Amino acid sequence: MPSVHLACSYSDVQAASSLIAPHVIHTPVLTSPRLDMLLSRSLFFKAEALQAGGSFKLRGATNAIFSLPDAVAQRGVVTHSSGNHAIAVALAASMRNVTANIVVPEGAPAIKVAAVRAAGGKLTFCEPTMEGREAACAAITAETGATVVPPYNHKDVIAGQGTIAHEFMEQLTDEKKLDAVVVPISGGGMTSGIAIAVKARWPSCLVVAAEPTGDNDAADVAKCKAAGELLTSLPKPATIADGLQARLGDLTWPVIRDLVDEVVTVSESEIKQSMRTVYEQLKVAVEPSGAVGLAAVSSPQWASNAKLNAAKRVGIILCGGNVDVQQLGALFAETTSSWD
């Protein structure tokens, strides 16, 4: 499927793969006979929770930062994030030996703030509003000349995230194609990069976006797809999947519109249950956002969709694992064992 009108091409993804290869982990593909039996299909989990920094975000940040000319990079980079993108930018900047200015909203998860600081990020705290974040970034850029590295709505970031799919397809080989790949979504950078790569190489493979509805029924990607247009005034989902609360951008929306085949929405209870299942069956620490893909494949919505239910070889992206372990007891309190 041609992608000349989209944010990047598969050749951009392949170039990104070569550029970031010395700096990122070649993450494993995990399987579970128990989960295959429970869900009556073969599941393949791309374990980005095991990536350096604890999430897929390092790929896009590294591609963006290492694509900068030397003179530009030496002025540093800046971003605003309360979580995994901040960690990734700090790590990628440290690998290139440049300053990472990280604007963090007050009240951000303590475990992620600590990880940003440990990665060498220079933190600036701001009001917990988009206006506060953008104003702080603008002030740093004006003072230092630092380059903004957006979390998802950027060509190099999208291409970097697409390396997940490029690597996944190389690991599985063209002789053992997937019928579907399931990607957690919010701003759409990861889903866009994966969709561009998958549709270029395995055009018959379904690309499925998995999205939390939140307690306030705010699954905006599903609503945008249903409307056939980018809706910009929808509320942020009230969800435990704190990494999936962004909004589609002007670069990511066209990819989602054109290349994503289905959007499956999941509830808070489904996320918690799938999170526990990943811990029990795959022995991998995932944050709530990282469990949303399995929640989608396990959901009644998936089972009731004939096209999805026919997919017998399904890839699932475990996108992140930065969770406060002290919260696990509360998260799993109302779940059941996947061994029952």
57 as an active site residue: the answer is yes
The residue with tokens 């790569």 is 197
Quickly count: other Cβ atoms within 10 Å of residue 333's Cβ.
8
Residue that is written with structure tokens 């026919």 in the block: 310
- Which is the catalytic residue, given 9, 55, 81, 82? 82
Please, how many CA atoms are within 13 Å of residue 74, restricted to the half-sphere of its CB?
3
From the list 46, 57, 122, 199, the catalytic residue is 57
Alpha helices (runs of H) in the chain, residue ranges in sequence order: 10-20, 33-39, 57-66, 70-73, 84-96, 110-118, 130-144, 155-172, 189-201, 220-227, 252-259, 268-282, 292-297, 300-303, 306-309, 328-332
Place of tokens 């397809």: 169
**CA dist., res. 116 & res. 95, Å (int):** 14
Q: Quick one: DSSP state of residue 7?
A: S
| Integer Cα distance of 59 and 121 in angstroms | 17
Active site residue ranges: 57, 82
